[in-house]
Copies of this chain bind each other. A is one copy, B any other.
């Protein structure tokens, strides 16, 4: 497959490496000339069959591609989409952005204007973030075992979806079918709100020097993602504001209950009872993957699998079935 990767940061760079390593013809582009030079140098050190090429423009990368993967931040997306549309690209498009609603809207807006409409768009999101970023941190094994959401909204071609599911499962990812709304709600709760909370915890201790010296494991881990660049946190939380607001409200209600537990006459007992639910949930995570099952490659079946916490690991060559896992709940 001829694949163009636009944006060569942590995710784009890792994808460039992984796809080239899997035998695809891969072209990469990054807006930063220094990143392009680094990516070119890295390719030159590889055996010829595992090399990628780096182009000087989006047009050169995308014009002949079967698939374009957008791996740029949400803030750069509109500009890159404009360049893509004017390049004459008319293949399959996906992205790796951490919020899916705004990308779907931006793509729909551009496609309606394009002279050569993109054949298909399937929103994607590999859950493979790290607190480090940039091509220097990229790693072809980044996607091994990682959950990779592919959005299967109404109107998305199942064939396009299965093309991407095949490609990413072959890189070792666990492909999770979900709608755009389901994705954005889920990541608000398990990724975006945890980022806000980490920041709030770190800010609370900022001026207490004794506390910062006493801070140990619970502070270190609870605030780790506060080291993420503020632009990224702003883009992902602000770009998913409605779902994040809702998930944050649920967290705030739970913390209101914690405050009430502390006010009880027997706060030791009240707090112990209050923490039981979160304790059980954390002990049951990550879920036991269960046994592999073969299920029909149909949109409703796939979405049901995703809603139940499942994922797929292979697409059958005839594309009629997929092999999926449905985790076993232990609570």
Task: Name A's B-contacting residues (CB within 8 A).
Answer: 74-75, 127-131, 146-147, 149, 174, 176, 178, 182-183, 185-187, 189-191, 193-206, 208-219, 221-231, 233-235, 237-239, 241, 244-245, 247-252, 254-256, 258-259, 261-263, 266-283, 285-287, 306-311, 327, 329, 331
Which of A225, A285, A308 has the most B CB atoms < 10 Å from its CB? A285
Contact B267 A241 (CB under 8 A): yes
Contact A197 B199 (CB under 8 A): no
Contact A268 B239 (CB under 8 A): yes
Closest Cβ–Cβ distance, residue A189 to chain B (whole Å): 5
New A-B contacts (9) at CB < 8 Å, excluding given A185-B211, A226-B281: A74-B268, A186-B210, A187-B211, A199-B274, A199-B275, A200-B254, A212-B327, A226-B279, A238-B266
Closest Cβ–Cβ distance, residue A12 to chain B (whole Å): 18
Assembly of this chain: how many copies?
2
Contact B209 A190 (CB under 8 A): no
Option from B205, B256, B287 in Cβ contact (under 8 Å) with A190: B205
Contact B146 A176 (CB under 8 A): no
Contact B248 A259 (CB under 8 A): yes
Question: Which chain B positions have C-beta within 8 A of A222?
Answer: 194, 197-198, 221-222, 224-225
Closest Cβ–Cβ distance, residue A296 to chain B (whole Å): 20
Contact B278 A203 (CB under 8 A): yes
How far, in whole Å, are A59 and B282 apart by their CA atoms in the complex? 40
